[in-house]
Amino acid sequence: MDKITVSVADGSHAKYAEAICEEIYISSLERRTGIAKRTPEYIIEKMEAGKAVIALSEDGEFAGFSYIESWGGKSFVANSGLIVAHKYRGQGLAKRIKEQTFILSRKLFPNAKIFSITTGAAVMKMNYEFGFRPVPYAELTDDPEFWKGCEGCRNFHILQANEYRMCLCTGLLFDPNEHLEIHHPGE
């Protein structure tokens, strides 16, 4: 099995954008779930801005990806696009990518609420482990630009019919104010 490196992506990773988009598209067809389509240009933009995490095998093959985007004046950050290439599934790579995406989100936006919307049980489980909780869509960003990103999803008509209040995805939220450290006197 290849050794896989998970790191913050940059412009040098732009060559993987097509493969990432293809993997997202294939996965959406296979799972018959809602995964919003993204363009290679959008993926490259995230890489160049230092707002993406990429996993590569030791021979330089694309293994996985995720990115972040801020919304609502940077008071919300979405963890999005988590994908693992078929060849590398079942090895715990998604959790490693999710962890690095979460760390990157906290580093770049330490006071922001972090959210994710998903239909995937594995992503829900990982989010719970990082302290996310399920929430109604009303607790997520109301930034219309975020919801425009759902237009590429096969279930967008459901979101529209419910006036952006609910869909098939579960909204999950990490609020840093709910995870304050408690310091005990004398420690």
pLDDT tens digits, 160-181? 999 988 888 899 999 998 876 6
Q: Which amino acid is at 69?
A: E
96 found inside a domain: yes
Task: Give the pLDDT score at 136.
Answer: 92
161 found inside a domain: yes
81 found inside a domain: yes
CA distance 2 to 64: 13
Residue 33 has pLDDT above 80, yes or no: no
- Domain of residue 22 covers 4-178
pLDDT tens digits, 69-81? 998 888 999 998 8
Mean pLDDT of the chain: 89
184 found inside a domain: no
pLDDT tens digits, 135-157? 999 899 888 888 887 887 778 89
13 found inside a domain: yes
Q: Are 8 and 100 in contact (CB under 8 A)?
A: yes
CA distance 28 to 120: 11
Chain centre to alpha carbon of residue 70: 12
- Long-range contact list for 33-38, CB < 8 A, 24+ apart? 33/119, 33/120, 33/154, 33/168, 34/119, 34/150, 34/153, 34/154, 34/155, 34/156, 34/167, 34/168, 34/169, 35/153, 36/80, 36/149, 36/150, 36/151, 36/152, 36/153, 37/152, 37/153, 38/81, 38/152
pTM confidence score: 0.85
185 found inside a domain: no
Which CATH number characterizes residue 91's domain?
3.40.630.30
Residue 182 has pLDDT above 60, yes or no: no
Higher pLDDT, 121 or 36: 121
Residue 34 has pLDDT above 80, yes or no: no
59 found inside a domain: yes
Residue 87 has pLDDT above 80, yes or no: yes
Q: Are 156 and 28 in contact (CB under 8 A)?
A: no
183 found inside a domain: no
| Local structure of 14: helix, strand or coil | helix
Task: Give the pLDDT score at 114.
Answer: 95
Residue 40 has which token pair? 């290679």
Q: Report how many domains make up the chain.
A: 1
Mean pLDDT value across residues 86-109:
94
Residue 65 has which token pair? 């990806």
CA distance 119 to 174: 17
